[in-house]
């Protein structure tokens, strides 16, 4: 995709939701370390602050696993260059997005998620506005589709966004908060051998961004970087 076409696609996607604004988002712009002895392992891994939005300072997207054997990789995202993938899942393990929504209302959360054939298929979404002391349920459970194989609706790749992997929810309780924690928490007890992958995690205000808008932003950035080389 050329830089011109990428920017045109982004403009069309964003124009359809002109009143929406991205507070913070992650498109996973940097590859994780690779090679013998370099691949990240352990109970925790973070990709750091968001790469999109007006409120990225102090934000963080990370993962926690009970098993220290968990490995973290950055395979292709859902229409973006990289995703945030980890394996060795136990019940209660999670991805977590931290963000400040001070000054913003009508908060929406959107994300893409998939799994391997043996990865956890059921998650819950919970949130905290007091640093994790108390949690409230946003989604009691949601199903994560497999990427490729087994009748799955397509395989994640760097160029094609698939809306079937996207979930968007309105979260009024997250309005105007100094710190909000969103946890995507596994409900599956027997997925130690499988992986889960998340991408295009976006906290926005106003209408939910058009499907694929965040992925297109990532592709436009990638095209721009290639053009400058």
Q: What's the CATH number where 127 sits? A: 2.60.120.260
Tens digit of each residue's pLDDT (9 = 90 or more) over 103-155: 999 999 999 999 999 999 999 999 999 999 999 999 999 999 999 877 778 89
pLDDT at 33 over 60: yes
What Cα–Cα distance (Å) separates residue 41 from each residue in 48, 87, 88, 154, 183? 16, 10, 10, 28, 20
What Cα–Cα distance (Å) separates residue 60 from each residue in 65, 127, 130? 16, 14, 16
Tens digit of each residue's pLDDT (9 = 90 or more) over 156-200: 999 999 999 999 999 999 999 999 999 999 998 777 789 999 999
Model confidence pTM above 0.85: no
pLDDT at 209 over 80: no
User: How many independent structural domains does the chain possess?
Assistant: 1
pLDDT at 18: 45
Domain around 93:
3-228
Query: HSE of 227 in the Cβ direction (CA atoms, 13 Å)?
Result: 13
Residue 55: which of 192, 177, 151 has the closest Cα?
177
pLDDT at 214: 59
pLDDT at 227: 41
């Amino acid at each position: 995709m050329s830089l011109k076409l990428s920017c045109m696609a982004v403009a069309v996607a964003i124009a359809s939701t002109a009143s929406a604004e991205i507070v913070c988002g992650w498109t996973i712009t940097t590859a994780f370390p690779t090679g013998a002895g370099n691949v990240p392992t352990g109970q925790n891994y973070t990709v750091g602050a968001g790469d999109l939005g007006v409120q990225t300072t102090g934000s963080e997207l990370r993962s926690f696993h009970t098993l220290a054997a968990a490995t973290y990789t950055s395979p292709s995202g859902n229409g973006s260059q990289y995703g945030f993938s980890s394996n060795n899942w136990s019940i209660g393990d999670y991805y977590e997005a931290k963000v400040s929504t001070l000054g913003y209302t009508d908060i929406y959360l959107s994300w893409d998620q998939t799994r391997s054939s043996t990865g956890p298929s059921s998650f819950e979404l919970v949130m905290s506005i007091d640093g994790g002391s108390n949690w409230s349920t946003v989604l009691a459970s949601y199903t994560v589709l497999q990427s490729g194989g087994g009748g799955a609706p397509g395989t994640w790749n760097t160029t094609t966004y698939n809306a079937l992997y996207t979930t968007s929810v309105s979260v009024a309780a997250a309005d105007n908060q100094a710190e909000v924690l969103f946890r995507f928490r596994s409900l599956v007890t027997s997925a130690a051998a499988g992986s889960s992958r998340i991408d295009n995690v976006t906290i926005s205000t106003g209408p939910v961004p058009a499907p694929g808008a965040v992925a297109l932003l990532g592709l436009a950035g990638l095209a721009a970087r290639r053009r400058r080389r």
